[in-house]
Amino acid sequence: MKNIVILISGGGSNMAAIVKTAQQQDWAQRLGARVAAVISNKAEAKGLVFAREQGIATAVLDHQRFATREAFDAELMALIDPYQPALVVLAGFMRILTPGFVAHYAGRLVNIHPSLLPAFAGLHTHQRALDAGCKFAGVTVHQVTAELDLGPILDQAVVPVLPGDTAETLAARVLTQEHVIYPRAVAALLPRL
């Protein structure tokens, strides 16, 4: 069984999209995969409620309990490794990971970033796209490397920027496409892992 471990920090709608399509489109069974665990760095993350309802193992690791990023990442690895994951999926996970963590899961660590990379790596992507006058925005699924948001691109989707858009309306339009491409990218990657 290929275990998938998903890391979240908030709403977890991308995690839920992966879990739901795995059931509905039957790709998890076909690929011999399952979402084995959902781990959040925030106890109040809404996504944990959905994961628990689905009978998925959950854990919370509050980064504020740790003096250094290295110490947090070491404990995070200790939570993840018992699942021997084929794939670790960052889904709205908001903590930058250390080079040691990234190396440990090299080739099996992916992220979804709400911009058309390499444009707008980092935070506040939607406001930055609006400020730059972009006519199109979008989302990227990429392999995670030590260089923030600059690992090899696996999939992208484009949405128009519409007159009157705010960061919130644009984010919502992008999010609908995230839910399409992230499950697709995960399912496409799994046979190679």
From residue 76, how far is each of 60, 61, 79 by CA, in Å? Answer: 10, 7, 5
- Of the CA atoms within 13 Å of residue 15, those in its CB half-sphere come to 32
Instruction: Identify which of residues 40 and 85 has a Cβ nearer to ligand GAR in the complex.
Output: 40
Instruction: For residues 78 and 111, give the distance between their C-alpha atoms in angstroms, rounded to a whole number.
Output: 20
The residues of the shown chain that bind ligand GAR, judged by CB under 6 A, are: 8, 10-14, 47, 91-92, 94, 112-114, 175, 178
Instruction: For residues 74 and 33, give the distance between their C-alpha atoms in angstroms, rounded to a whole number.
Output: 25
- The 138-167 site mask, x for binding ligand NHR (CB under 6 A), equals ------x-x-xx-x----------------
User: Which one of ligand NHR, ligand GAR, none interacts with residue 178, CB within 5 to 8 A by kind?
Assistant: ligand GAR
C-beta separation of 109 from 90 below 8 A = yes
User: Which one of ligand NHR, ligand GAR, none interacts with residue 42, CB within 5 to 8 A by kind?
Assistant: none
Burial, 152: exposed, middle or buried (Cβ in 10 Å; 0-12, 13-18, 19+)? exposed
Query: What minimum distance in Å lies between the beta carbon of 67 and ligand NHR?
Result: 14
User: Which one of ligand NHR, ligand GAR, none interacts with residue 4, CB within 5 to 8 A by kind?
Assistant: none
Q: Which tokens in the block code for residue 174?
A: 């992008």
Kindly identify the residues of this chain, within the stretch 84-143, that bind ligand NHR according to CB under 6 A. 90, 93-97, 102, 111, 113, 122-123
Of all helices (H) and strands (E), which one includes residue 147?
Answer: none
Catalytic, out of 104, 113, 126, 142: 113
- Residues marked as catalytic: 113
The binding site for ligand NHR (CB under 6 A) comprises 90, 93-97, 102, 111, 113, 122-123, 144, 146, 148-149, 151
